[in-house]
Amino acid sequence: MISLRRRLQAGLAASVLVLLPLLVWGGGTAVRSLVRQHALSGLTHNAEALLGAAHFDAAGRPGLPGGALAPVYRQPFSGHYYLLVDAGGPIEQSRSLWDHRLPIEPVAPGERHVLELPGPGHQSLLVLAAGYRKQGHALTIAVAEDLAPIEHDIARYQMVAGLLVLAVLASLLVVQRAFVRRAFRSLDALRDDVRRVESGEVKGLREDVPEEVGPLVREVNRLLALLDQRLQRSRNSVGNLAHALKTPLTLLMQQVDGDALRDRPEVRRALQQQAERIRDLMERELRRARLAGAGAASRHFQPARDVPALLDALRRMHDREGLRVEADSLPGVAVPLDDEDVIELLGNLLDNACKWAASTVRLHIAVDGALLIRVEDDGPGLDGDTAEAMLARGARLDESRTGHGLGLSIVKDIVALYGGQLQLERSADLGGLTAQVSLPTGPDTA
C-alpha cells in the first residue's frame, strides 16, 4: 500500500500539474484579450483620424490627402492598412496594402464590425470596419493591424511562463516534501511506542499526537487496556478457583487416608486414584486457563531476565547430590511471547528432565525468527517409537516418578496455542531425552 506521505506528494504534484498550466493558459488568454482590446482602441483612433482627414469631391467620392497619412500607410506590407468603402464598394486603400485586396463590405453609419482576415505576406490582420456619415455622405473606413508580432510576444510570454511554472512546481515539491516530512515526524514517537508495546516495555501509546490520529490512538489504548484487564481478571479468577478447590480436595484426601477405610484397601486405593486424577485434571485445566496466547497485551519473555530465577527454583526443588542444571548463554532480547506462558513451558520441560536425569540437565535457548528451546538430560531417554506414541496420546513423561506433574499436556497446549512445534528424540550429546520446541515470534523481535 502506498504511504500517506507519497499520496500527499503525488496529490500535490497532480494538482500543480493541472492548475498551473491552466493558470498559464488563462494568463495568456487574458493577455491576448487585453492586447486585442488595446489594438482595437488604437484602430478606432486611427479610423477617427482618417475620418477627420477625409474629404469629398464634386461627384461625392471620398478621398484622403497624401499629407494627412502616417508613413506606415505608405510603406508596403508595413502591417498597418486602411480602406475607404462607399455604397458602390472599395474606393481607396493604403499604399501599404500594395495590390492585396481586403473583402470589406459597406457598414451602416453608427455600426462597427471587427474581423480577422489574412493580409499580405500571410499576415494575420485584426480589422475594424466602422460606418460614418460625413457631409451628408455615408462612408465606411476599415483600418487593419498585423497581430503577428503581438502573437509572437504572447507565445514568448507563455514559454517563459511555462518554464517558470516548471521551476515553481519543482520548488513546491521540494518545499512540500520538507513540510510533509516535518509533519510526519510527529508520528515517529507513535511508531516507537508501537514497537515498545510489541516488546512489552509499555502497555499503551502516548496520546499527544496529531488530532487526525488521536481517535485511533485512544481506541487502541482502550483495547489494550481491555485485553490486559481481561487477562488479569482471568488469571485472578483461576487463582481464586485453585485456592477454593484445594481445601475440599485436601480434606477428601485426609478422609481417604484416615482409619475409616483402613479395612477396605480396595476402596481406599480406588478413591485415592480418583482423587489424584481429579487433582491432576483440575491443575491441568487451571494452568491451561492461565495461558495468554499469542498477541496478548502482556509482558514479553526475556530469556536473560526470566530464566535464571527459574533455574534457581528448580535447583532447590531437585536438591540432590551430583545433579547439575546448565544453561548456555541466554539471549538478552525481548521475545513477543507472554512471559508466564514460556516460563510455564520451560518449567515443565526442566522439571521432567531433573526427575529423570542421572547428573546433568542442559538448557539451550536461541531467538532466530522463532523462540528455539532445547532441553537435554542424561537419563534413560526414549526411543523414536515411544516418543512418537507419547506425543500422539499426550502421555506424561513422569509417570513412574513421584508427584502429580502434568507431563506433556501443558507443554503441548502452549505449543499448540502459539502454533509451534514439539519434538522428542534421544540426545546425541548426553544420551538421554531431548525435547525441542519452536515457537514463532513473527518477523521482528525487540
Q: Is residue 212 part of a domain?
A: no
> Do the beta carbons of residue 346 and residue 312 sit within 8 Å?
no
Q: Is residue 221 part of a domain?
A: no
Domain that holds residue 416: 300-440
Q: How far apart are CA 297 and CA 223, in angstroms?
A: 9
> Do the beta carbons of residue 90 and residue 107 sit within 8 Å?
no
Q: Is residue 157 part of a domain?
A: no
pLDDT value for 74 = 80
pLDDT value for 402 = 45
pLDDT value for 442 = 61
pTM above 0.75, yes or no: no
Q: Is residue 171 part of a domain?
A: no
284 and 307 both lie in a single domain: no
Q: Looking at 119, 137, 152, which one is the last position of a domain?
A: 152
263 and 236 both lie in a single domain: yes
Q: Is residue 393 part of a domain?
A: yes
Q: Over the stretch 285-325, which tens digit does the pLDDT of each residue have?
A: 666 555 555 544 457 788 999 899 988 888 888 877 778 88
> CATH code at 313?
3.30.565.10
17 and 124 both lie in a single domain: yes
pLDDT value for 371 = 92
Q: Is residue 395 part of a domain?
A: yes
15 and 142 both lie in a single domain: yes
Q: Looking at 129, 152, 175, which one is the last position of a domain?
A: 152
The Cβ of residue 46 has, within 10 Å, a number of other Cβ atoms equal to 20
Q: Over the stretch 184-226, which tens digit does the pLDDT of each residue have?
A: 777 777 778 777 776 666 777 877 777 777 888 888 888 888 8
403 and 307 both lie in a single domain: yes
304 and 284 both lie in a single domain: no
pLDDT value for 405 = 42
Which residues in the chain land under pLDDT 70?
A: 1-5, 66-68, 198-201, 235-236, 238-240, 242-244, 280-298, 384-407, 442-446
> CATH code at 98?
3.30.450
pLDDT value for 437 = 93
pLDDT value for 318 = 83
Environment class of residue 131 by beta-carbon count within 10 Å: exposed (0-12), middle (13-18) or buried (19+)?
middle
146 and 17 both lie in a single domain: yes
95 and 75 both lie in a single domain: yes
Q: Is residue 207 part of a domain?
A: no
271 and 315 both lie in a single domain: no
The torsion angle over the Cα atoms of residues 69, 50, 83 and 148, rounded to 10 degrees, is 70
Q: Looking at 290, 311, 330, which one is the last position of a domain?
A: 290
Q: Is residue 161 part of a domain?
A: no
54 and 20 both lie in a single domain: yes
239 and 337 both lie in a single domain: no
Q: How far apart are CA 292 and CA 195, in angstroms?
A: 20
pLDDT value for 446 = 39
Q: How far apart are CA 132 and CA 84, in angstroms?
A: 11
Q: For the chain, what is the domain count?
A: 3
28 and 107 both lie in a single domain: yes
